[in-house]
């Protein structure tokens, strides 16, 4: 495996603050909507509707930083969000890292209720805005309870260690992965996207084999996880795959020659669909009766 940085830092990825809770992380204050790419922008728009609901009529900053050619991205999201009640939107794009101190760009975040990272190249997001005034403004919104959403590359960059690239083939081969620090808004997980559509189970297993402490989360297209505290809920049309290496008894990741197929024993896999929930701290799905009790408790608390 090639590493373009040191991931898994407990200080929180490319920045210095903690984020939403992972298996060992602390809760952040705002929700994360982490999307596997290919979200519906014209029909029911279940996922974008969830983002809009979380904004509560507030302003949305759409960060198209991940794209080397961002033309058209913002217009597509503006059309998709407008009749969902999101009428105030700004596009944030930086060509060079030096632009992240530009006052006009930083003012875009004034009064924002959320930030949406579009797709492209996740390494471009972390390298251009990581540990800059722009990242600080994103974190300020998140810590104040604002929603942070990301799709495709914008999903991968949410974690403290992110997958940058790796082949889409069924069996992981030693040395195939490139990983780097992400923004660390959610900790101790590794996120992959376009998951079933691009056959990425092998590379997610490889990522977990490198660091079994972290949960691997693979998200299909037009599917998202909504993270609040130590839990997430699945929405959308596809599945979410959670790879847990905590109980692994053997792998050949450290000893095998490059290009040899991965061997890993006693890895655990959960497959979740819309409406399912998962407890990140306990590393297990939340059954329906638990979810219902939690919802009832929140209703009682709101009424008191």
20: helix, coil or strand?
Answer: strand
The answer to whether residue 20 sits within a structural domain is no
Q: Is 21 a domain residue?
A: no
CATH number at residue 63: 3.40.50.880
pLDDT at 126: 96
pLDDT at site 15: 45
* 23 belongs to a structural domain: no
In a domain, 19, yes or no: no
As a whole number of angstroms, the distance between CA 215 and CA 279 comes to 11
Provide the pLDDT for residue 70: 83
What is the span of the domain harbouring residue 62? 2-10+29-303
pLDDT tens over the chain, length 304 residues: 333 333 333 334 454 444 565 554 444 589 999 999 999 999 999 999 999 999 999 999 999 999 988 888 999 999 999 999 999 999 999 999 999 999 999 999 999 999 999 999 999 999 999 999 999 999 999 999 999 999 999 999 999 999 987 777 678 888 878 899 999 999 999 999 999 999 999 999 999 999 999 999 999 999 999 999 999 999 999 999 999 999 999 999 998 788 899 999 999 999 999 999 999 999 999 986 555 556 566 566 656 6
Partner residues linked to 285 by β-bridges: 278
Answer yes or no: is 150 within a domain: yes
**Three-class SS of residue 294?**
helix
> Is the residue at 24 inside a domain?
no
Supply the pTM of this predicted model. 0.86
C-beta separation of 92 from 62 below 8 A = yes
**Residue 160, domain member (yes or no):** yes
Q: List CB contacts of 271: < 8 A, sequence separation 6 or more.
A: 239, 240, 241, 242
Q: Is 69 among the domain residues?
A: yes
Phi, psi of 58 (to 5 degrees): -85, 180
Query: Strand ranges (DSSP E) for 93-238?
Result: 112-117, 147-151, 161-165, 178-181, 189-193, 215-219, 223-228, 231-236
Q: Distance between CA 203 and CA 195 in Å, rounded? A: 10
The answer to whether the beta carbons of residues 115 and 148 sit under 8 Å apart is yes
Helices (H), the chain: 46-55, 73-82, 103-107, 122-129, 133-143, 153-156, 201-210, 288-303
Contacts of residue 188, defined as CB under 8 A and 6 or more positions apart, other chains included, come to 8, 22, 23, 24, 25, 160, 213, 214, 215, 280
What one-character DSSP code corresponds to residue 137? H
Structurally, how many domains does the chain consist of? 1
pLDDT at residue 2, as a whole number: 37
Report the catalytic residues.
152, 170, 194
| Beta-carbon count within 10 A of 58 CB | 18
Q: Residue 44: helix, strand or coil by DSSP?
A: coil
């Amino acid at each position: 495996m090639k590493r373009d940085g040191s991931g898994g830092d407990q200080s929180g990825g490319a920045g210095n603050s903690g984020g939403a809770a992972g298996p060992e992380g602390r809760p952040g204050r705002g929700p994360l909507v982490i999307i596997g790419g290919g979200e519906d922008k014209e029909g029911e728009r279940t996922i974008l509707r969830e983002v809009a609901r979380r904004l509560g009529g507030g302003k949305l900053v759409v960060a198209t930083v991940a794209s080397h050619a961002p033309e058209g991205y913002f217009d597509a999201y503006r059309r998709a969000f407008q009749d969902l009640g999101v009428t105030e939107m700004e596009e944030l794009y930086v060509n060079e890292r030096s632009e992240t101190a530009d006052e006009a760009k930083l003012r875009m975040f004034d009064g924002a209720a959320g930030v949406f990272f579009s797709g492209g190249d996740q390494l471009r997001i972390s390298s251009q805005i990581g540990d800059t005034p722009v990242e600080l403004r994103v974190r300020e919104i998140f810590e104040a309870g604002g929603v942070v959403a990301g799709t495709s590359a914008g999903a991968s960059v949410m974690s403290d260690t992110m997958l940058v690239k790796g082949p889409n083939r069924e069996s992981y081969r030693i040395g195939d992965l490139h990983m780097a620090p992400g923004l660390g808004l959610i900790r101790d997980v590794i996120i992959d996207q376009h998951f079933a559509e691009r056959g990425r189970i092998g590379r997610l297993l490889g990522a977990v084999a490198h660091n079994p402490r972290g949960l691997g989360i693979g998200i299909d297209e037009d599917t998202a996880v909504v993270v609040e505290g130590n839990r997430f809920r699945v929405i959308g049309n596809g599945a979410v795959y959670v790879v847990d290496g905590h109980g692994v008894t053997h792998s050949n990741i450290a000893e095998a020659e490059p290009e040899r197929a991965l061997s890993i024993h006693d890895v655990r896999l959960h497959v979740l669909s819309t409406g399912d929930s998962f407890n990140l701290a306990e590393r297990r799905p939340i059954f329906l009766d638990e979810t219902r009790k939690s919802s009832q408790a929140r209703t009682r608390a709101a009424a008191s």
